[in-house]
A = this chain, B = another copy of it.
Amino acid sequence: MGIDTYRENVVYLHRECGVVRAEGFQALAKVDLSADGNERSISAVINVVDDERIVGPGEIGLSEQAFEQLGAPEGTAVAIAHAEPPASIQSLRRKIGGERLMRDEWFAMVRDIAQRRYSKVELAAFVVATSQFELDRDEVAYLTEAMTDAGRKLDWHERPVVDKHCIGGIPGNRTSMLVVPIVAAHGMLIPKTSSRAITSPAGTADTMEVLAQVDLDFARLSEIARSLRGCLAWGGVAQLSPADDVLISVERPLAIDSPGQMVASILSKKCAAGSTHMVLDIPVGPTAKVRSMPEAQRLKKLFEYVARHIGLMLEAVITDGRQPIGNGIGPVLEARDVMQVLNIDPAGPVDLRQKALRLAGRVIEFDPDVRGGDGFPIARDILDSGRALSKMNEIIDAQGRRPAPLPLGRLALEVCAEATGTVVGIDNLQLATIARLAGAPKVKGAGIDLFRKLGDQVRQGEPLYRVYADYPADLEFATRLSKRSSGYSIGEAAALPHAFVEF
């Protein structure tokens, strides 16, 4: 039909179609479809069509994804039947009722989800029912195992295979693009795959794409990782946790990100990617995803428990999440920060450098030959000697260097301090939203360049940050929001919140 209904399969049937009438099909009912001479069947939701120019009686139309999944050419005869609801819906109903589910029930639900047998409504029910603090840690472990099991699993045939991941929520936090070249230069295998931004102004894949190609096919990605010991690619190609991809399609509009789902989503992807050792970054701050130390500790314990269950060595570190990391927010600006740090440019952001070195140091300590505490100086030496920069250039060239640098947004606007004093608060969420309205990550050059960070002195009228955009409407939206609140609090130095952590 040439209609993209995102992750939901839709079948278009004419209202006067014999099948619709005889079987009493209704809009939104689910049916199973199988093409003549084809084993595979798909399930889809019905939309009823009253216009013969779209589909006539006796014809069916499919949304793009459904057509692709059915895998039969146009004009094929198709059998259609009331869908038996997936058997695991019984388990979903029990979960909605607040019951604890067994391991095989989690496996059955996740398998049905990965095979797209759940409707959007059922998916939303799954996400809400499993987000209500009702999952105990064993259930999270089962969910994680099941999500891993539902996709392909990579085997690198060596150990350790290391990784570094952040739970998200902090704009500009592009440490992976520094940790990977440092760790790979140390000689450890770190085949990093990342997502694109879901709700943030840039994901690692979006930012790396400013410098190099990221959507490599899996053979190429694996060849690069083996020869260079590292890569920085988009993870979507690898089909690592298909259930997670399906669930994200409803988590995104609902903005739900519960601890259980977060743990299962992250660890299942890492396990499927063949990682054996991982450092996890949990930022804490008043506008971070995790807002208190007790909450951070609970989340850390849950990650540790599930990681042990699936045989992944995990070091979870709680970090300072009070403000954005680095100066840039948005793909081009964040790539600039990263390259400044790699080039030992004195203008480069110190906080990004320090955090990346500390995380890289912890990863390097997974090396059995490195003594506890030696990781940081090793990482610093690799960075300061220019070996990290060389490694990054090798990775960029191997993945496919972008021929010309991407420009910043054509339009810009400065947001200035309304008072004189000390910067005592920077709202991660507000700045992320402003950057997104400005066009990031879709418009790579859009975003925010921060001129002041926590603790800095500022005078009334001095610029706090500059917003970049490509389209007037985007700049207008972003400006309107920044006028409602700049995201900065100016006050007395004593009001500066202490960092929750220092690691």
Contact = CB atoms under 8 A, between A and B. Distances in A.
Q: How many chain copies? A: 2
Contacts of A15: 4
Given A4-B15, A27-B6, A128-B124, A255 B47 contact: no
A98 interface: yes
A330 to B, nearest CB: 13
B122 A120 contact: no
A47 B66 CA distance: 14
A119 B7 CA distance: 15
A230 B128 CA distance: 43
A54 interface: yes
Contacts of A398: none
Interface string A93-123: 1001110000000000000000000011111
Given A124-B124, A125-B128, 13 more contacts: A1-B51, A3-B12, A3-B49, A4-B15, A6-B28, A7-B28, A22-B473, A24-B439, A28-B253, A121-B124, A123-B124, A129-B132, A132-B134
Contacts of A250: 121
| A interface, size bucket | 35 or more
A287 B132 CA distance: 29
Contact of A5 (B27, B121, B131): B27
The 3 closest A-B pairs by CB, nearest first: A2-B51, A124-B124, A24-B442
B27 A119 contact: no
A485 to B, nearest CB: 16
A471 B51 contact: no
A256 B63 CA distance: 28
A22 B443 CA distance: 9
A200 to B, nearest CB: 14
B28 A249 contact: yes
